[in-house]
Amino acid sequence: MPNPRISRKNLALHRNGQLAVSSFQPLPTINRMNTKPIKSSGTIFVTGKQTSAFFPGRAPRQSPTKKLPKRDVPAAEGDFTPVEYHIPGAGSRKRAAQYDNWMKMLPDLVPPYLQLMVDTDSLKRVGDIHPGRATCACIKRRLQITVIRWISIEDIELQSCPHCDAFRAPILLLQGGLFPCSPCNPTLAVEIPLLQFFIELGLNVAPNNTAFCKTLENVLAEWGYKMASGERLRIRFGNTTQWFTQLRLLVDKRVNDALEPARTAARNRYADDTVDHPNEEAVITPHQEGVITPHQEDVITPDADQGQNRTGTGTRLPVASSAKAAGKKRRREQDQDMAPPS
């Protein structure tokens, strides 16, 4: 009678010598009830005081292999080593697609961000504005978005249009002082002042996204604001912070590029004046007395005890000497204020 634990296929492989030889291994005497055999599979025989285990033979396990796409190698390059292709997983493909979408979206977010800074006086009145609405004739997309603010958590419904560039979800949220966690279909948006606080905090202490998000969730939970069951803030808040930082860098670059021609013209004009008139004396008038510019180009008229005429239209003095005289005048006034009354 054949053994019911051995299939016909394994029995044929065993007879052909393709399976490992079965082993019969004696086991130590069972002294405690929780004693386990050496191996976790097989049949245990108990006869009197001797315990044995029978392990049927089986084919060795082979690790699964992933088939790589074939690549034709030219005949002249017979010794060429084939390239091993790396096939990314679903998570890697999703992150790569999100990166490409953000890089296409960020340049379009710079003008709305600058307009937001103008409308809110550098985010001083950010609580008075709300996200925009799509007013085009296209079919709208309704998005349920969780908004994280300083002292509250709220759920809003946003109507966006994926076909019109001016009514995409990130642009509409940015008009309301919010920044999304995703460029296409965001499920979470964070108030911009809160993001700026977290970024500045990371410049003074070691940045810890997990600790900050956990602290924010606990504080808001104490005030009665909790996120939906199963939702976590850490990953989406990290994505929001990362891409908002990239937006700030683009905004700073846009502003610097706009100011660079004026700065260059001012530096060239100052350099030309210095080369053309290296020893030119500064001319001051009575209404300029007591005023010093950051470049020490305006000259202060010294006091009357140096023999200067205050009723005239102006006095010509070198810049260095006038600044020195002004310093002496301030020190004399300080000494007079500190002197005890007579």
Summarize pLDDT for 306-334 with one digit per residue, the tens. 444 444 444 444 444 556 677 677 777 76
Listed residues 256, 290, 316: the one ending a domain: 256
Residues 44 and 135 in one domain: no
Residues 237 and 289 in one domain: no
In a domain, 69, yes or no: no
Residues 239 and 312 in one domain: no
Query: Domain of 331?
Result: 282-336
Give Cα separations from 121 to 115, 125, 172 (angstroms). Answer: 10, 7, 19
Residue 273 has pLDDT above 80, yes or no: no
Residues 249 and 120 in one domain: yes
Residues 106 and 194 in one domain: yes
Residues 330 and 202 in one domain: no
In a domain, 322, yes or no: yes
Residues 288 and 233 in one domain: no
In a domain, 245, yes or no: yes
pLDDT in tens, 157-199: 999 998 898 899 999 999 999 999 999 999 999 999 999 999 9
- Provide the domain count of the chain: 3
DSSP state of 26: E
Among the residue ranges 7-21, 269-283, 298-312, the one predicted with the least confidence is: 298-312
Other Cβ atoms within 10 Å of 216 Cβ, number? 18
Listed residues 221, 240, 256: the one ending a domain: 256
In a domain, 177, yes or no: yes
In a domain, 135, yes or no: yes
The answer to whether 68 and 84 are in contact (CB under 8 A) is yes
In a domain, 319, yes or no: yes
Other Cβ atoms within 10 Å of 126 Cβ, number? 20
Residues 291 and 328 in one domain: yes
In a domain, 154, yes or no: yes
Give the best-scoring range by mean pLDDT among 25-29, 114-118, 289-293. Answer: 114-118
Residues 161 and 207 in one domain: yes
Among the residue ranges 81-95, 238-252, 268-282, the one predicted with the least confidence is: 268-282
pLDDT band at 46 (very low <50, low <70, confident <90, very high): low
The answer to whether 147 and 220 are in contact (CB under 8 A) is no
Residues 104 and 252 in one domain: yes
